[in-house]
Amino acid sequence: MISLLTGKEEFGKDAALEIEDSAEVVLFDVDLKERALDYAVRIRAGGFDNLIAITSILYGTTLITNDKPFHDKLVPFSSEYQFKIKFFRDLNLDDL
């Protein structure tokens, strides 16, 4: 998605490597998993979508998705859980 947005393949590769490093922390952190359950129960997204949403919530990152139903499902939670969600097709480089 990053390569598509920026037109630069190297940015996409850098983002993928960063995500891979972060995934190890998220997937193997027992405390994080326990806190994540409370969010997952309320959000009621699919397994992988829950993991993405919860990671964004717990780490305070902006979630960018090209999945409209997923985006629309999370918008109502963004204020309560204090995270930002953006729909990829609505972005331009000035938004980043």
Q: Where are the domains of the chain?
A: 2-90
Secondary structure (3-state) at 87: strand
Both tokens of residue 62?
A: 């902006």
How many Å apart are CA 41 and CA 64, to the nearest integer? 21
> Is this model's pTM higher than 0.75 or not?
no
What pLDDT, in 10s, does the model give residues 8-66?
777 777 776 776 666 555 556 666 777 777 787 888 877 778 888 888 888 888 888 88
Residue 68 CB-density burial (10 A; 0-12 exposed, 13-18 middle, 19+ buried): exposed
Both tokens of residue 43?
A: 């959000």
Both tokens of residue 54?
A: 């919860």
